[in-house]
Amino acid sequence: MRQIQFREALREAMNEEMRRDERIFLMGEEVAEYNGAYKVSQGMLEEFGEKRVIDTPIAELGFAGIAVGAAMNGLRPVVEFMTFNFSLVAIDQIINAAAKMLSMSGGQFSCPMVFRGPTGSAGQLGAQHSQAFENWYANCPGLKVVVPSNPYDAKGLLKSAIRDNDVVIFMESEQMYGDKGEVPEEEYLIPIGKAEVKREGTDVTIVSFGKILKVALQAAVELEKEGISAEVIDLRTVRPLDHETIVESVKKTNRLVIVEEAWPLASISSEITYQIQKHAFDYLDAPIHRINTPDVPLGYAPTFVEAFLPNVPKVVAEVKKVLYRG
C-alpha cells in the first residue's frame, strides 16, 4: 500500500468530498493563494476556484460566523484555523451559535460543518500558541470532537466529519503533518465515536489520542523489553467518547494509564477515570494513573517544552507504579 503524509491524507479527504458535493467549501487564513499555512490545501484553489477555496482576513470571529450562516442555509463549510489557539477569538460562534443552532431552532436549522486545524504544542511557540483545547470543546453538547493520530485515520475520519450533519471539531497537530503512513487509494470512511486498539496486551491498558499516541506506542515497546505487555488504545474521537472499548480492555488487563497533552483539571483523562470507576471498578487491581501536562502555561525555552509534555520515560514509570504499587 502507498504511503502518504498526514497533510496529504487531509487534502485527499477534502478534495474527494468537494468533488462529490458542490456544497462543500474551504475557508480560512492562507488556505488559497498560499496553499495553506502547512500546505494542507496545496493545489485546491487551482482545482476548485476562489468561490470554494476562500482566503479570509485575520478575523476568526468574522469568518466563523459567515461559515455558520452558510451552513444554516444549506452549504457545508470546512473552516481552517491556523491554530486552535486562534479559535478562542471565534468561540462565541462555535459554542453559542453552531453548537446550539439545531436545539434552539427546534430542529429547523442544522450546521453541518467542520472546524479544523492544529492543536497542542508544536515546539517553541510560547504559551499562547501551545494549548490543547480538546477537553474544552468536548465539554459542549452539540459538538463532536475528533483527534486523529495517523494519516489513515485522518483521511477516513475527516471524510466522515465532512459528511456528518452535526458540527465537528477536527483537531490535528503541526508536528504530525509530515508523518507518513499507509493510506489506500480506494474510498473508505472511519466512523466517528469508535476507538481502536492499536496494540494488544495483557498487563496494562494505556489510553491516548492524537500525536501523544506515538509516545504511548513507544512506551509499550520499551515495556515489552522488560516483559510487560501493554495494550494501547487510540481514542480517535473524544466526543462522543468510546468508553466501552476501554472498559473491555480494562476487564482484561485490570490496570489503566491515560496519557494526554492537556492540563489535568476537567481533562479527557478525568472523564475516562470516572467512566472506568463507574463501569469497571471491580476489575481494577490498582488505582488509575494519568499523565497530563503540568498545570501551568507552557514556557518558550526548549527545556520547558521537554519537561512539559508526556514522554516515554514518564509513561514507563507510571505503568510500573500501577503494576508494582511503587
Q: What is the CATH number of the domain that holds 102?
A: 3.40.50.970
Which CATH number covers residue 294? Answer: 3.40.50.920
Query: Does the residue 251 lie in any domain?
Result: yes
Whether 189 is in a domain gets the answer no
Q: Are residues 202 and 164 in the same domain?
A: no
Whether 191 maps to a domain, the answer reads: no
Task: Write down the pLDDT at residue 326.
Answer: 46
User: At 169, which amino acid appears?
Assistant: I
Tell the residue number behind the cell numbers 475520519, with chain if given.
157
Residues 6+ apart with CB under 8 A from 317: none
Q: pLDDT value at position 1?
A: 87
pLDDT by residue for the chain (326 residues), tens only, comes to 899 999 999 999 999 999 999 999 999 999 999 999 999 999 999 999 999 999 999 999 999 999 999 999 999 999 999 999 999 999 999 999 999 999 999 999 999 999 999 999 998 999 999 999 999 999 999 999 999 999 999 999 999 999 999 999 999 999 999 999 999 999 999 999 999 999 999 999 999 999 999 999 999 999 999 999 999 999 999 999 999 999 999 999 999 999 999 999 999 999 999 999 999 999 999 999 999 999 999 999 999 999 999 999 999 999 999 998 64
User: Which pTM does this prediction carry?
Assistant: 0.96
> In terms of domains, do 178 and 204 share one?
no
Is 190 within a domain?
no
Task: Please count the structural domains in the chain.
Answer: 2
102, 235: one domain? no
Q: Round to whole Å and give the CA distance between 249 and 231.
A: 8
- Among residues 129, 172, 243, 261, which one is catalytic? 129
The verdict on 146 and 233 lying in the same domain is no
Structural domain range at position 296: 196-324
Does residue 75 belong to any structural domain of this protein? yes
- In the annotation, is 243 catalytic? no
For the record, the C-alpha cell of 88 comes out as 478562542
Quote the cell numbers at residue 163.
Answer: 459528511
Identify the pLDDT of residue 207. Answer: 98
Q: Please tell me the number of Cα atoms within 13 Å of 85 on its side-chain side.
A: 15
60: annotated active-site residue: yes
**Letter for the amino acid at 180?**
K
Active-site residue, from 8, 12, 17, 60? 60
| Residue 141 sits in the same domain as residue 228 | no
Q: Which of 115, 147, 182 is the last residue of a domain?
A: 182
Q: Enter the C-alpha cell of residue 154.
A: 485522518
Q: What is the pLDDT of residue 5?
A: 98
